[in-house]
Structure 1
Amino acid sequence: MIKTRVVYLCMAILLLLFVVLYAVLPNVGIETKNTEFSYENIVFNENKVTTVDIEIAEEDWADMLENATDKELKQANITVNGKRIESVAIRTKGSSSLNSVVSSDSDRYSLKIDFDYYDDTQSLYGLKKLNLNNNFSDTTLMREYISYELMEQMGLPTPAHSYMYVTVNGEDRGLFLGVEAVDETFLANNYGSNNGFLFKPDGIGSDLKYISDDIADYTGIGLKTNEGNVDQSKFIDMLKAINNGGDIEKYIDVDEMLRYFAMNTALVSLDSYQGTMKHNYYLYEDNGVFSIIPWDYNMSFGGFGVGGFGGGDRMGGNNQVPANANIKTPEDAKTNEQSDKPDMEFPNNVVQQQQGGQPNGNRNQGGFNMAMGMSGDLMSDSAINFSVTTPVSGITLEDRPLLNALLSNEEYRTKYEDYLEEVATNYLTEENIQSITKKLAVLLTTYVEADPTKFSTTVQFLEAIEGGNSLPEFAKQRSASILKQLSGELVVEASTSQGNMGMPNANDNGDMNGNPMPDGFDPSQLPEDFDPSQAPQFNQDGNMQGKRPNGGPMGMPNQGNEQLNQATVIDKNTVLTAIASLAILLIALFAVFKFKRRGR
């Protein structure tokens, strides 16, 4: 017969095992979380600046910079926050922005890193591809980041994103925005499946006008996945529905697209489907239904210029409000006729810039500038009062059948306007944007100051944080304009002008003296887990000194510490195991209690 003390001993052992399982294993370096998509918290920690150290053969790096437009893949080793991944592929990225940087004196190119190019089993905590965006055309360095934040707040599937400080062979390259690639990994993480069809439209067919029943005629739809089964796609059926008045709910996620277009319109993001370039968006078809995925927002907040410019679409339209436009009341509003203008190609030679990222005395050249709309006048009337009723630029609403099909339906338009009101009152508000910019000011200022390749100055970066020419002020005035347009108090007269595309001359060198924090900054507004101690330190000469925030010496890759800055996260399987163990323990204790009562 089993003695009571033996039973108690067994119970004590079970209790000890439970404690070990629940409290010890997550802290001994054993990954208890399913790391399939753990890159979202580890790589894209928005409260820290991720360090990305690139090791590449000097001749390969020199060739990549010399022949940037070739976008040739080179082999490199990458260390991200101390975790080293060997034999990855790296190349330059971009199109018009890449050509513009090539035409300047700068070599600050955006980069794409492919972790599984040479080994398809390799990833960075589940991440297969990483984009390092150079913040081209954005003196604030925040437009893209904030736009993605607002898209997330609006409930849209959005690429993971955070700031990253990049070195190449031990030399600083500067502050970039890291953005998750929209690929099979993104689809599986956000939609639960990547078996559908992912499109990145850019070119013939990217306006989503119906051409023919042959999908081969749509050379610009950019199918990225499932190419071998394209004949099973409902792409042509979807085009017919939105162009010919069919049942669009059968083919598109109407609610999601209304939220997307409401936010995109509020952000005045015109280097997009709503502008002349008709690109910078993804479509994902899952079981015959199309969703839209936001992409590329360095020219949001009116940065592209209302009216825009690009190839293939007629200039003009009936929504643009130039800086000198007359904003009229409903009583005296009139409709302007559309004017025809010749097609325009994006100019390659747009600016010359000095080495080290400091601006020239005159940044305008031939009527264009390297920023392609990067203007000191963030508060131009053309952007603030961009039409929400006809939210296209440089073209007519009929030229964009997807948007036209949505806004031509009274029920959908009402819902679109409801979402616009929600954006203006909850998301694109002065308070919300200011909370983001002030957090970024603390996080990024020293990195911006140290950046040897930056396009603009630290002063310009800080101007965007608060004040009369800041992103919060833009949000305040833009949201007020949206609400006035929705109520009918403000009617935006049509215009065929391109709006404000210029940029004033810059004559400061961006040198910072003393504390560069903006006036009125309140550190208490930062999140509890925000860590300002990671920011690099500077000596009196303004040079970065000491150690990199994540522990390694400045300019040298971190070695060995592969779990650095990695939060301990326990997944649902571990939780279920712990619950099951606890249940077994309780049952066993109950059995002991019953055993003792029976006197055995």
Structure 2
Amino acid sequence: MIKNRIVYTSMAILLLLFGVMVAVLPNLGIETKNTEYSYETLVFNKSKVTTVDIEIPQEDWEDMLENAADEELKQANITINGKTIENVAIRTKGNLSLRSVVNSDSDRYSLKVDFDYYDDNQSLYGLKKLNLNNNYSDSTLMREYISYELMEKMGLPTPAHSYMYVTVNGEERGLYLGVEAVDETFLANNYSSNDGFLFKPDGTGSDLKYISDNIADYTGIGLKTNEDNVENSKLTEMLDAINNGGDIEKYIDVDEMLRYFAVNTALVNLDSYQGNMKHNYYLYENNGVFSIIPWDYNMSFGGFGAGGGGMGGGNPNQMRGNANNELPAEGQTEENADTPAMKQPQEGQPNGEQPQGGQPNGEQLQGGQSNGEQPQSGQPNGEQPQGGQPNGEQPQGGQPNGEQSQDGQSNDEQTQDGQPNANRNKGNFDMGGGMSSNLMADSAINFSITTPVSGTTLEERPLLNALLSNETYRAKYESYLEQLATTYLTEDYIQSITNNLAMLLTSYEEADPTKFYTTEEFLEGVAGDNSLPEFAKQRSASILKQLSGELVVETSATAQDNRGMPNGDTNNEANGNEMQMPDDFDPSQLPADFDPSQMPEGGMGNEQGGGDKGGPMQRPDGNGGPNQGNGQATQEATIDKSTVLTATATFSFLVAALLFVFRFNRRGR
């Protein structure tokens, strides 16, 4: 009897502990070690628009806007969904996008927030750095978001991302895309280790050609972490293998890279390794094996021009960098220029780029111009003009940069009722023009999947060439393309995403006081003949025809026409968030063929208990901006991995104990 009492008492205690663990602990808000990176759900909540309130001395903010190209850090406080972090660093960011905004009438700059700049131990739920991208050159506001969603669906480590509405000192700045920085935090969260070598190639060596076994010769390889141990990196051995026929599986995650290039090719993302600029990607070396990390997709969906033409149909060599990249300084490539003090120009060189042999970036252009960075006849940014037009952008109607608007307004800034950008001529915006009729250009829709490069050759891109030259690897790459074309890059799937985003974003986009494009232009991307779903429909059909051999696309570095740059599962069935329309949402703003039946059950909407922050747009006076309430956003209770594992282990122990008691009682009889 005594033994039975002991057993039953122990069982009762264990049952009580199990009940407490499952029912009580998840609701106490206790952070365990595995909630270290809870920013993925608490900051980047895809079911709502996160509110970002920046408080900064007004004189510092005005100086930042007036001297945006300096990218000087300023001290500020920031409140995100009601949680305030003090003493953070903030600065403007960008490369070509930054210069373009500087030279326009707009001051809508992308921003970088550094939570731990002044305090190494400070973070926002584990997040150390946040990028606020201004959706430069994308009237749909969706290209980058959808691209990251597809990367996630194909199993690639992808920066966290969601939409954010930004205010500065109580003044609305508008709708931005928040994107997690690729740094030590990202690496630890996605690779369980940040002890390896993170590279952000941009410059000499970013094409991944073998130069020598001396890593110092790869001046543009952009080592971001573990610099003191660079001699232990296997980079040069990896480059030797992919260039000279070595065992590439020893050095690269082949399957991951095949998935990456399949998505990049399907999305016709050419402001990348596959294009003339050979940048906008990360390499992470972990235990001698290299992985690839996607980055910067505001020019996907053919936005960079499938002929390598880049912006405005000009030679992409005449541009240095692109939206959302960092300005190089004093011989530093972008990835080495994180310290704003390093970002001053050198002896009159535009953007502080160090020339090689007298030529900026050492890249020789047609006509003897190097990389378009050497000023000529006083052209802004030192970019080689085309037809006498600054920045190499072909004007329409004879106006420089296509910027001269009706009634003599420059930069296409003609307004209606004092609202900026209200009459922007579609496809004629100097910052890239975003969505234009060229979205459906044949050069993008039928971009080659067998030779998926633009403005260059496969031989000039040895990593991709090494993969596609192997029949086994190519077959797997083609299987991933087929998966994309039949599952994710389909009209229905992309339509579900754009519908969700239209429901979520339209009222914010309407209220955005600094937006580059009109609401009409934004909604064109949602549905219709010139929309992202239509692109997906035609592009996926082309991919399948190319895979079957029905369509053969002839490509070469010079034969492709020099098209100008048009200037997830986010249906959230999985995360169970319920769609809610903003109170002031105007259905008449949606396209005529917008189909609510495409909306999945659940959809994207405001969290219950979301409070004033981050829910659907609230306009108390009927025409104002988002409700600026100061309430703390309520977070839904979540159960972290440690709780699940502990509960599972306890439950298993209880089952074992019950079996033991059962057998013990049987023996007692």
TM-score interval (norm. to shorter): 0.7 to 0.9
* 8 A contact 2:271–2:277 mirrored in 1: yes
Question: Considering only aligned residues, what root-mean-square deviation do their CA atoms show, in Å?
Answer: 3.1
Match of 2:561 in 1: 497
Q: CA deviation at 1:267?
A: 0.3
Deviations 1:195-243 (A, max 9, x none): 1110000111111112222211211111000101111111111111112
1:345 to 372, 378, 381: 372
* TM value normalised by structure 1: 0.84
Tell me, in whole angstroms, the C-alpha distance in 2 between the residues paired with 1:408 and 1:598.
69
Match of 1:506 in 2: none
2:454 to 393, 396, 416: 393
* TM value normalised by structure 2: 0.76
* 8 A contact 1:314–1:395 mirrored in 2: no
Aligned with 1:491: secondary structure? coil
Which residue type is aligned with residue 286 of structure 2?
Answer: D
Tell me, in whole angstroms, the C-alpha distance in 1 between the residues paired with 2:643 and 2:202.
44
Structure 1 residues 489, 581: CA separation in 2 closer, same or farther (over 3 Å shift)?
closer
Tell me, in whole angstroms, the C-alpha distance in 2 between the residues paired with 1:78 and 1:142.
25
Match of 1:404 in 2: 465
Tell me, in whole angstroms, the C-alpha distance in 2 between the residues paired with 1:477 and 1:374.
16
Match of 2:155 in 1: 155
Tell me, in whole angstroms, the C-alpha distance in 2 between the residues paired with 1:409 and 1:537.
55
> Is 1:110 the counterpart of 2:184 in the alignment?
no
Which residue type is aligned with residue 477 of structure 1?
Answer: Q
* 8 A contact 2:166–2:176 mirrored in 1: yes
* 8 A contact 1:161–1:178 mirrored in 2: yes
> Is 1:134 the counterpart of 2:198 in the alignment?
no
Q: CA deviation at 1:432?
A: 0.9
Match of 1:232 in 2: 232
1:113-512 equivalences under 5 Å are 113-309=113-309, 341-342=366-367, 345=372, 348=381, 350=401, 351=403, 352-354=411-413, 357-358=420-421, 369-371=430-432, 374-494=435-555, 495-501=559-565, 503=567
* 8 A contact 1:171–1:555 mirrored in 2: no
Which residue type is aligned with residue 115 of structure 2?
Answer: F
* 8 A contact 2:426–2:436 mirrored in 1: no
Match of 2:589 in 1: 516
Aligned with 1:285: secondary structure? strand
Which residue type is aligned with residue 268 of structure 1?
Answer: V
Structure 1 residues 374, 271: CA separation in 2 closer, same or farther (over 3 Å shift)?
farther
Structure 1 residues 22, 105: CA separation in 2 closer, same or farther (over 3 Å shift)?
same
Q: CA deviation at 1:122?
A: 1.0
* 8 A contact 1:272–1:279 mirrored in 2: yes
* 8 A contact 2:424–2:518 mirrored in 1: no
Structure 1 residues 540, 115: CA separation in 2 closer, same or farther (over 3 Å shift)?
closer
Tell me, in whole angstroms, the C-alpha distance in 2 between the residues paired with 1:419 and 1:100.
36
* 8 A contact 1:172–1:555 mirrored in 2: no
Match of 1:575 in 2: 644
Match of 2:602 in 1: 528
Unpaired runs of 5+ in structure 1?
A: 316-339, 504-511, 549-553
> Is 1:537 the counterpart of 2:618 in the alignment?
yes
Tell me, in whole angstroms, the C-alpha distance in 2 between the residues paired with 1:258 and 1:140.
28
Q: Structure 1 residues 383-392 or 345-354, which shifts more? A: 345-354
Aligned with 1:293: secondary structure? strand
Q: Structure 1 residues 430-439 or 479-488, which shifts more? A: 479-488
Match of 1:337 in 2: none
Which residue type is aligned with residue 567 of structure 1?
Answer: E
Q: Structure 1 residues 588-597 or 219-228, which shifts more? A: 588-597
Q: CA deviation at 1:541?
A: 5.9
Unpaired runs of 5+ in structure 2?
A: 319-364, 374-379, 382-390, 392-400, 404-410, 568-584, 608-614
Tell me, in whole angstroms, the C-alpha distance in 1 between the residues paired with 2:590 and 2:316.
44
Match of 2:74 in 1: 74
Q: CA deviation at 1:375?
A: 2.6
Tell me, in whole angstroms, the C-alpha distance in 1 between the residues paired with 2:283 and 2:36.
24
Q: CA deviation at 1:420?
A: 1.5
Deviations 1:90-126 (A, max 9, x none): 1111111111111111111111111111111111111
Tell me, in whole angstroms, the C-alpha distance in 2 between the residues paired with 1:140 and 1:63.
30
Structure 1 residues 246, 77: CA separation in 2 closer, same or farther (over 3 Å shift)?
same
Tell me, in whole angstroms, the C-alpha distance in 2 between the residues paired with 1:279 and 1:197.
17
Tell me, in whole angstroms, the C-alpha distance in 2 between the residues paired with 1:129 and 1:86.
14
Tell me, in whole angstroms, the C-alpha distance in 2 between the residues paired with 1:596 and 1:369.
83
Higher relative contact order (CA 8 A, sep 6+): 1
Identity %: 70
Aligned with 1:40: secondary structure? helix
Aligned with 1:436: secondary structure? helix
Structure 1 residues 235, 372: CA separation in 2 closer, same or farther (over 3 Å shift)?
farther
